[in-house]
């Protein structure tokens, strides 16, 4: 499977944010997107996810599910955690599992969906499963948002500042999940100012540095 973006350009608020961006990721590959604030890192992830239409260029998945769009092959985790405060931690995760599974998605790459309780344990918040999301700390909210990646398998993870609000132990947990995803043949595009220890060896980690559009 391969994620391809060709000659992408993005306009936001009537201005050209970036132009001429291209990338090609194969299964088992991670791409770290860097660059100064306002250069378009978040916008690039939104374009890849199908949430923003590119002004130019195209995004495609090769050797994926022919019935799914490129965006439907992706999990997008942005700055907002997209949680319902009145629902419990477990109820939020169950909602997102149902929402992201409709229409039903195949087990991409042979990855089986993680049980919601097990997903909460893996991100370290199983002990607050019955607590309303309104009572979570910023770090716990972030971990709950990341648990969505585990309950419905998708081959491409698009992560915008994934370590934001996480303590050192939670960062280690997240990078472990990311390594496991890449080792299983998944792909990751992460926009971040922080280094991500995704390992070496058979895994390939590339960097895309964005500059301000002129």
- Report CA torsion sign: 95, 96, 98, 99: positive
Strands 156-160 and 187-191: parallel
> Which of 41, 75, 56, 42 is CA-nearest to residue 6?
56
The token pair that represents 68 in the structure block: 């799914």
Q: What is the pLDDT of residue 202?
A: 47
For the chain, the structural domain boundaries read 2-209
DSSP, collapsed to helix, strand or coil, labels residue 126 as helix
Q: Each residue's pLDDT tens digit in the chain (214 positions)?
A: 899 999 999 998 889 999 999 999 999 889 999 988 888 999 999 999 999 999 999 999 998 887 788 888 999 998 888 899 999 999 999 999 888 875 545 555 556 788 899 999 999 999 999 999 999 999 999 999 999 999 988 899 999 988 888 888 888 888 899 988 888 888 999 998 777 777 655 457 888 988 876 6
Q: Quick count: other Cβ atoms within 10 Å of Cβ 135?
A: 11
Measured distance CA(69)–CA(65) in Å, rounded:
8
The values of phi and psi at residue 102, to 5°, are -115, 120
2-209: CATH class: alpha beta
Cis amide bond preceding 167, omega within 30: no
Own/partner contacts of 198-204, CB < 8 Å, gap of 24 or more, are: 198/30, 202/28, 203/28, 203/29, 203/30, 203/179, 204/26, 204/28, 204/29, 204/30
Q: What is the pLDDT of residue 157?
A: 94
Buried-state track 27-38, b at ≥16 Cβ within 10 A, e below 16: bbbbbbbbbeee
- In DSSP terms, 74 is beta-bridged to 156
Helix axes 89-100, 138-151, angle to 10 degrees: 40
- Total residues found in the chain within this entry: 214
């Amino acid at each position: 499977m391969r994620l391809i973006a060709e000659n992408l350009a993005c306009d936001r608020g009537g201005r050209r944010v970036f132009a001429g961006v291209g990338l090609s990721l194969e299964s088992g590959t991670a791409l770290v997107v860097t660059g100064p604030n306002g250069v378009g890192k978040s916008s690039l992830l939104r374009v890849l996810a199908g949430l923003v239409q590119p002004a130019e260029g195209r995004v495609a998945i090769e050797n994926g599910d022919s019935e799914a769009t490129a965006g439907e092959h992706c999990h997008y985790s942005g700055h907002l955690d997209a949680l319902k405060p009145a629902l419990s931690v477990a109820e939020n995760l169950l909602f997102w599992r149902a929402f992201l599974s409709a229409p039903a998605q195949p087990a991409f790459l042979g990855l089986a969906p993680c049980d919601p309780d097990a997903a909460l344990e893996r991100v370290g918040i199983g002990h607050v499963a019955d607590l309303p999301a309104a009572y979570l700390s910023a770090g716990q909210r972030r971990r709950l948002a990341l648990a969505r990646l585990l309950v419905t398998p998708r081959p491409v993870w698009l992560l915008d500042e994934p370590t934001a609000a996480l303590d050192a132990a939670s960062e280690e947990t997240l990078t472990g999940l990311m390594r496991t995803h890449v080792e299983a043949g998944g792909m990751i595009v992460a926009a971040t100012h922080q280094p991500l220890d995704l390992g070496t060896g058979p895994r390939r980690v590339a960097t895309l540095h964005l500059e301000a559009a002129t």
